[in-house]
């Protein structure tokens, strides 16, 4: 499919998604006047707590990434980390499967002199690690809490819905612990010499990335442990924000239920085949809070998504567009096509 055609389809889908989400959120919150009235019941001190928790949420997100680069001997400072985080949340909301996320971040990292192989390795592992922990907490919560469940239409097809995620995690684990077959396959096709053109660059990059992912995934360095702890802290901050919003809006939310509800909520945000999971996460989170789909629950789930996703979209767009402008549109295309994996 031509790039322009694909971009047009993505754009149309994004517009339809945002419009549908706006209508649905307005409906289940009793209208936007009612939404504003309910949001206004959250006090100033409560917003201060939420602001601090949200900042911590993004700090953990930065640590999830920076620890994986540190394992490769690369330092990602807070300023660069902030820019990368903003860009990530922006581009992840543009397409159904966030396929622009890694290319956009690799582009940003290449401008800092970081090799594609190192960048791709850290970014892929970052996604896989948080997906693993979300599945672990989310699935465990659904099994242990009978009062938290998916809508019947989704519950009937849950195996089919989560199968792609489970497959990707299994493939990732295979690459980490048994990389020899993949490395042998790429080495045979390279034939000991550089293959011509883009195919050779792709095979060489794949070979090095698989080796790097395996080495990183089996590392015994303390930074590797910190990466996993950052994933858990990231999830814990999200759970706290969701539970705190519920309580601020008068929605009962025991701690054990909050762990289940918001673990599944964040998992949905990662695997939903909708641009940025816009609307889908809000509606399903409200259902998980209470199948009655209350107005207060709708406001809580929408504010949660704003704080933990949409908040950085505009800064992310500005940062990415400025970087692309600085690189030059035509030069950007040539540099990307001729990029080295070294």
Domain count, the chain: 1
Determine the Cα–Cα distance for residues 50 and 324; give it in Å rounded to an integer: 33
Would 32 be classed as within a structural domain? Answer: no
Angle CA(138)–CA(139)–CA(140) in degrees, nearest 5? 90
Task: Give the burial string for 68-96 (b: 16+ CB within 10 Å, else e).
Answer: bbbbbebebeeebbbbbbbbbbbbbbbbb
Would 21 be classed as within a structural domain? Answer: no
pTM equals: 0.89
Residues of the domain holding 135 = 44-337
Would 78 be classed as within a structural domain? Answer: yes
pLDDT at 340: 47
Let me know: does 59 contact 120? Beta carbons within 8 Å.
no
pLDDT at 275: 84
Angle CA(156)–CA(162)–CA(163) in degrees, nearest 5? 105
Would 58 be classed as within a structural domain? Answer: yes
pLDDT at 148: 82
Two tokens, residue 30: 């009793």
> Splitting the chain (342 residues) into consecutive groups of 10 residues, what average pLDDT does each group show?
71 87 93 96 96 97 96 94 95 82 91 90 94 90 81 84 90 91 81 61 80 91 95 96 96 92 89 85 94 95 95 94 80 53 48
**Overall size of the chain counted in residues:** 342
Would 6 be classed as within a structural domain? Answer: no
pLDDT at 300: 97
Give how far the C-alpha of residue 46 lies from the chain's centroid of Cα atoms, to the nearest Å. 26
Would 30 be classed as within a structural domain? Answer: no
Would 288 be classed as within a structural domain? Answer: yes
Would 342 be classed as within a structural domain? Answer: no
């Amino acid at each position: 499919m031509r790039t322009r055609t694909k971009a047009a389809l993505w754009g149309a889908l994004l517009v339809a998604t945002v419009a549908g989400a706006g209508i649905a959120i307005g409906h289940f919150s009793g209208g936007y006047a009612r939404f504003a009235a309910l949001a206004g019941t959250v006090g100033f001190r409560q917003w201060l707590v939420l602001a601090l928790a949200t900042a911590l949420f993004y700090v953990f997100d930065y640590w999830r990434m920076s620890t994986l680069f540190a394992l490769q001997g690369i330092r990602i400072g807070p300023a660069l980390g902030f820019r990368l985080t903003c860009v990530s949340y922006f581009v992840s909301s543009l397409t159904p499967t966030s396929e622009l996320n890694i290319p956009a971040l690799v582009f940003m990292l290449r401008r800092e002199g970081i090799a594609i192989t190192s960048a791709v390795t850290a970014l892929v592992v970052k996604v896989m690690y948080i997906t693993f922990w979300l599945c672990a907490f989310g699935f465990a919560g659904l099994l242990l809490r009978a009062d938290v469940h998916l809508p019947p239409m989704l519950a009937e097809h849950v195996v089919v819905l989560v199968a792609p995620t489970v497959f990707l995690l299994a493939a990732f684990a295979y690459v980490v612990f048994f990389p020899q077959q993949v490395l042998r396959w790429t080495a045979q096709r390279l034939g000991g010499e550089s293959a011509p053109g883009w195919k050779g660059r792709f095979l060489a990059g794949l070979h090095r990335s698989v080796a790097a992912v395996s080495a990183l995934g089996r590392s015994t360095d303390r930074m590797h442990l910190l990466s996993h702890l950052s994933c858990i802290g990231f999830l814990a901050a999200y759970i706290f924000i969701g539970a705190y919003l519920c309580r601020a809006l008068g929605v009962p939310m025991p701690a054990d239920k909050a762990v289940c509800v918001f673990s599944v909520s964040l998992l949905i945000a990662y695997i939903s085949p909708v641009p940025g999971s816009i609307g889908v996460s809000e509606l399903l989170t409200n259902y998980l809070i209470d199948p009655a789909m209350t107005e207060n629950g709708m406001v809580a789930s929408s504010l949660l998504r704003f704080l933990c996703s949409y908040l950085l979209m505009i800064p992310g767009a500005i940062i990415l567009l400025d970087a692309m402008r600085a690189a030059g549109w035509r030069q950007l295309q040539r540099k990307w096509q001729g990029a080295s994996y070294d």
